[in-house]
Structure 1
Amino acid sequence: MADCASDDEMELQTSIILRANVIFMSTLAILTFYLSYKAFMILKVGSIFHSSTRILLFTGLGFVNFHELAFFYLQIITIYRSFTLSERPCEIMRTTKECRAQNHSLIFGLAGITFTQSALSLERLIATIIPEKYSKLKKWPGIVLSIIAILCSLSAPFIIVWNDPFEDTVPNCFFFPAQSRFRANVFLMTLTGFVFFSIFLNLIIISVNKSSELSTRFLVEQRYQKREALISTRIVCYIAIAQFFALAFYSCSVLALRLMKDQIPRAYYHNIVWWAYTVPFAAVALPALLIYRINQSGRWRKKVINKITNMTETQEEHMESLKQLWG
């Protein structure tokens, strides 16, 4: 059974700051569900992505929605207890054992978002290094990398809480068990490192693809492959950058807060930690950026095609338009 809440903890559990956070994050989760559905339909109908990349993007959308569903459930339970147990300090707290499943779900979702991002970057690298063989492999690179990302994500919660007795009392299931907090910090910093590496790798791939695109200017099939890889890699890079900022802010701010924990009143500390959890922003970034970049690419291509078909131009102007169409 959980310990009774102190006055500071009761203030935390019933504060307007916590309730506002729940409403805001729940709204963000609902937005993620909606945008994910739209992104899923765009990818399903057909898009600029190779089938292997689409598999990984579907996997990423799955992880994003799993995380947001787990976090949404946690938020609903939190605000429900905030109102119904506001006068019961000996019932409002939770034990980490009670929270084990919810905690594991959050870690699994968070790890999955990051590992899928890394898998996307590796898949883009494969497409750049061996484009001909990559095309023949069809969906298999995406399937294999998705399986690896899922297995790594499944193992993450068990590694973090390995041998933890789960005897702590926490305000809600958002918080890690005390004995596992160091490993949780390492985990968060590791995820940030993974995303940073993905950005670095994608920038290199973009540079290589742009250079090699020029050397295959008059080889239609090869240039199409390079152009496809370039567009896909740019989108993956944009997503990685958005997720990097969200994860870096969360991991760095939580680490700083834990180092200064003794200097911050407990109620304020937990409220700040709630607002510092920026992973939902990383989650919503995936479908939002997918929709935006795919639609932007489609509009740009239509604009160039309309320009070519509706204008009378010289041979030189026509060649220049074709160059623009190819990027």
Structure 2
Amino acid sequence: TMSNLSCAPPTDVDRLRRLDFQLSLLAGFIITGATFYYAFLALRLIWKTPIYEMTAKLLMSQLMVFCVMYEIFYCWEEFLSSYKIIFEKDHPCIQLQSSLDCAFRFKCSMGFTSGMIYNQTGLIIERMIATRLENYTNKIKVNIRIIIFFAVPSSSILTAYLIVLDDPLEGYVFACYVIPKQSILRTKIFLVTCFVLTLLVLIMALLIKKYIKKYEYSTRFRVSSRFQNRQAIETTNTICILSLFSSIFLFIYTVGIFVLLAVRPSISPFVFNSFVTYVYTIPFVAFMIPRVILYRIRATRRSRVHALNEFAHAKQTQDEHINELKIMWS
């Protein structure tokens, strides 16, 4: 009957009762709280610091919103599972969630996940245009900024709808982050696309960083150019680290899901559910992004203070100063 179908099978009941799953829920709440805290600190510092251009500040703020919104939806699913553990684990029928009822929350989870990846892609595209375009005027910069700012959420919404396109969303699921059966293939394609994008962003960031360093040397006596180059380098370095960690976590999730789905017929539901919990790394991506941005801003500030202190305490003879100038001009 329909009521029996909506009751959790013994494997899901065992999953709720297992200590490792309960600990994963606790870890999820801690990660969500930490993400909110670091995102708040990161947003404050992003808009206070001069080391990022306005374009980067705007897009990084959008990135923080994607991280926080993803964690809100993820935390809600964690809360529902915790409620079942506390109040329903001894009930004869623990209710599952309808795939149809989960459609909106699943789309939001996929949309905010893709938003985190597309935003980093947009950041590096803007950096690439700014680096390679000789006449990069303020008007061009503003236009590109507006296009990327609106293209990222639009693409994320489209992605979320495409993943579940034509899926009848029948049946019941343990939680709304579980992939609907008819959408597994599209989700696989989505995960591979996200992983490839993060790798491409990482490669492009490294190339841009190398180009800017070379260009910075040729403009070392033009203060305005040096400041702009320093802004570009700091932005590119941040994107580099973000892409590195994102690609690692996405690799674990993508490969983990592929392997688990491939061996699912030959392993027990208990083993499958256990490993799904361990390879679901998207919450760590959302947590890592504001943490990395905070680290980059603070590290840059420390290096600046250290450089200024060294400069203030440095004592050179006239000959040493002349020799240093000769080397710089050569």
The answer to whether the superposition gives a TM-score over 0.5 is yes
The amino acid across from 2:298 in the alignment is N
Q: Is the 8 A contact 1:55 1:139 kept in 2?
A: no
Q: Distance in 1 between matches of 2:124 and 2:66?
A: 16
After TM superposition, the structure 1 = structure 2 runs for residues 1-327 of structure 1, keeping only pairs within 5 Å, are 1=2, 2-130=5-133, 133-135=136-138, 137=140, 139-315=142-318
Q: Distance in 2 between matches of 1:3 and 1:171?
A: 10
Deviations 1:240-283 (A, max 9, x none): 10111011111111111100111221122122112211112111
What's the TM-score once normalised by structure 2's chain length?
0.92
Q: Is the 8 A contact 1:47 1:294 kept in 2?
A: no
Deviation at 1:29? 0.9
The percentage of counterpart residues that share the same residue type is: 24
Q: Distance in 1 between matches of 2:191 and 2:64?
A: 20
Q: Distance in 2 between matches of 1:72 and 1:161?
A: 22
The amino acid across from 2:194 in the alignment is L
Assess, with a 3 A threshold, how the Cα gap between structure 1 residues 318 and 28 changes in structure 2: closer, same or farther: farther
What's the TM-score once normalised by structure 1's chain length?
0.92
Q: Which moved more, 1:73-82 or 1:210-219?
A: 210-219
Q: Which moved more, 1:223-232 or 1:146-155?
A: 223-232
Deviations 1:117-159 (A, max 9, x none): 1011111112211265255545443332121010000111110
Q: Is the 8 A contact 1:12 1:268 kept in 2?
A: no
Would you say how many aligned residue pairs link Structure 1 and Structure 2? Answer: 323
Aligned to 1:166, the other structure's residue is in SS state coil
Deviation at 1:193? 0.8
Assess, with a 3 A threshold, how the Cα gap between structure 1 residues 165 and 319 changes in structure 2: closer, same or farther: farther
Q: Distance in 1 between matches of 2:214 and 2:93?
A: 65
Correspondence for 2:328: none
Q: Distance in 2 between matches of 1:39 and 1:19?
A: 30
Deviations 1:276-320 (A, max 9, x none): 111121112211111111111111111111222233223565589
Q: Which moved more, 1:196-205 or 1:93-102?
A: 93-102
Aligned to 1:174, the other structure's residue is in SS state coil
Deviation at 1:14? 2.5
Q: Distance in 2 between matches of 1:217 and 1:135?
A: 23
Q: Is the 8 A contact 1:108 1:156 kept in 2?
A: yes
Deviations 1:27-80 (A, max 9, x none): 011101000000011012233000001111001001011111110111111111
Q: Is the 8 A contact 2:29 2:78 kept in 1?
A: yes
Q: Distance in 1 between matches of 2:76 and 2:190?
A: 23
Q: Distance in 1 between matches of 2:97 and 2:221?
A: 66
Q: Is the 8 A contact 2:188 2:258 kept in 1?
A: yes
Assess, with a 3 A threshold, how the Cα gap between structure 1 residues 50 and 150 changes in structure 2: closer, same or farther: same
Q: Structure 1: give runs of 5+ residues left out of the alignment.
A: 323-327
Q: Distance in 2 between matches of 1:102 and 1:66?
A: 11
Assess, with a 3 A threshold, how the Cα gap between structure 1 residues 145 and 118 changes in structure 2: closer, same or farther: same
Q: Distance in 2 between matches of 1:66 and 1:76?
A: 15
Q: Is the 8 A contact 2:84 2:94 kept in 1?
A: no
Correspondence for 1:325: none
Deviation at 1:82? 2.5
Deviation at 1:91? 3.5
Deviation at 1:108? 1.0
Q: Structure 2: give runs of 5+ residues left out of the alignment.
A: 326-330
Aligned to 1:260, the other structure's residue is in SS state helix
The amino acid across from 1:168 in the alignment is G
